[in-house]
Amino acid sequence: MRESRAIERLRRIATNKAALSLRDDVALLDGLVLTHDSIAEGVHFLSSDPPASVGWKLVTVNLSDLAGKGATPIAGLLSLALSGDDDWDHLFIDGVEAACESYGLPLVGGDTISLPPGASRVFGLTSIGRAGEKVPLRSGGRAGDALWIIGTVGDAAAGLELLHDDANAIGALVDVYRRPVPQLAVGQALAPHAHAMMDVSDGLLMDASRLAETSGVKATIELDLLPLSKAFIAERGASVDTRLFAATGGDDYALLAALDAKFDPLRLPLPSRTTIARIGTLAADGPLLSLVSGGKPVPLPKRLGFEH
């Protein structure tokens, strides 16, 4: 069963209004923002990845969902699958601890199980955040809005390809893949002004199409405006094909925000060295998602991003 079909079936169960019809990354319950993400060996991390980085990644990908709603982290619940390798498990917990301390997430409980010998590792974390005065959902985008992205795209996908070629690869791109940074402070600054906002985890094009569909609008992305890091350009260049790779790669954990076209987020007191760029628009008519480069239309790739 594909992810989309599974979610459609689950909607028959998730009827409480807090579930938001399963059309967002989070649930909203009594002023709290709740999210749960799992990571699996061979899907979200490599067997050769350092265990501490896997623990870090589990925490930060969950916090990225809170960032997409401008929430403040207040508690986490860990699902810990013990592998039988004590050294690996200890280092994994070290990574969880480091991320929780770095972003002020108190670990308040969870569950532990033991895996059978040789089983792939799977971990989960539930993160709970306190909502601000406004929670920008996926569904709030409006025709005429400008689309902004906070953070760069493509680095993690490029880092993963380097590791596929050489398990001992190092460098900035590998670091981004292994140790995501949730945009919590920027999310909290943007939330009061955003009509819609979400984190980018499955690929920019995939997530932009989800935002547009849930909002009932159409999205146009200008590939030439995508923010690419110096390390990414040095490794792969900046051609249209390369930008399509960056826009579909996933694991970016950037933020995608729909803002009034007249609003300039650069006037906000954002953290220093924040990467933020206007990359497109929302409209009432047209295809659900369209791409432009050099003022000319670009065909959509066969794969917009990652789907289980």
* Cα separation, 122 vs 115, whole angstroms: 9
Least confident of 9-18, 64-73, 192-201: 9-18
Contact 143, 217 (CB under 8 A): yes
Which tokens hold the place of 139? 């569904």
139-149: average pLDDT: 98
Q: Where are the alpha helices (DSSP H) in the chain?
A: 3-10, 51-67, 86-103, 155-165, 172-178, 184-190, 204-215, 230-236, 240-248
Span 175-190, pLDDT tens digits: 999 999 999 999 999 9
Residues contacting residue 236 through CB under 8 Å, at least 6 positions apart: 154, 158, 242, 245
Q: What percent of the chain has pLDDT over 70?
A: 100
The fold of 138-298 is Phosphoribosyl-aminoimidazole Synthetase; Chain A, domain 2 (3.90.650)
Q: What is the pLDDT of residue 118?
A: 87
Q: What is the pLDDT of residue 231?
A: 98
196-212: average pLDDT: 97
Instruction: Cite the residue boundaries of each domain of the chain with CATH code 3.90.650.10.
Output: 138-298
The number of CA neighbours under 13 Å toward the Cβ of 15 is 2
Out of 3.40.50.1000, 3.40.50.12280, 3.50.30.50, 3.30.1330.10, which CATH number does the structure's domain 3-130 have?
Answer: 3.30.1330.10
> 3-class SS at 253?
coil
**pLDDT surpasses 90 at 171:** yes
**pLDDT surpasses 70 at 280:** yes
* Cα separation, 147 vs 123, whole angstroms: 33
**pLDDT surpasses 70 at 297:** yes
28-40: average pLDDT: 97
197-223: average pLDDT: 97
Span 101-138, pLDDT tens digits: 999 999 999 999 999 988 999 999 999 999 999 999 99
Supply the pTM of this predicted model: 0.94
Q: What is the pLDDT of residue 308?
A: 63
> 3-class SS at 173?
helix
What is the pLDDT confidence band of residue 307, given thresholds at 50, 70 and 90?
confident
* Cα separation, 28 vs 247, whole angstroms: 29
258-285: average pLDDT: 96
> 3-class SS at 306?
coil
42-67: average pLDDT: 96
Q: How far is CA 166 from CA 43, 88, 173, 200, in A?
A: 17, 21, 13, 26
248-256: average pLDDT: 95
> 3-class SS at 41?
strand
Helix, strand, coil percentages, rounded to 5, for the chain: 35, 25, 40
196-216: average pLDDT: 97
Question: For residue 113, which phi and psi values (nearest 5 degrees)?
Answer: -135, 165
* Cα separation, 271 vs 273, whole angstroms: 6
Q: Is the dihedral of CA 114, 116, 121, 125 positive or negative?
A: negative
Residues contacting residue 268 through CB under 8 Å, at least 6 positions apart: 189, 190, 193
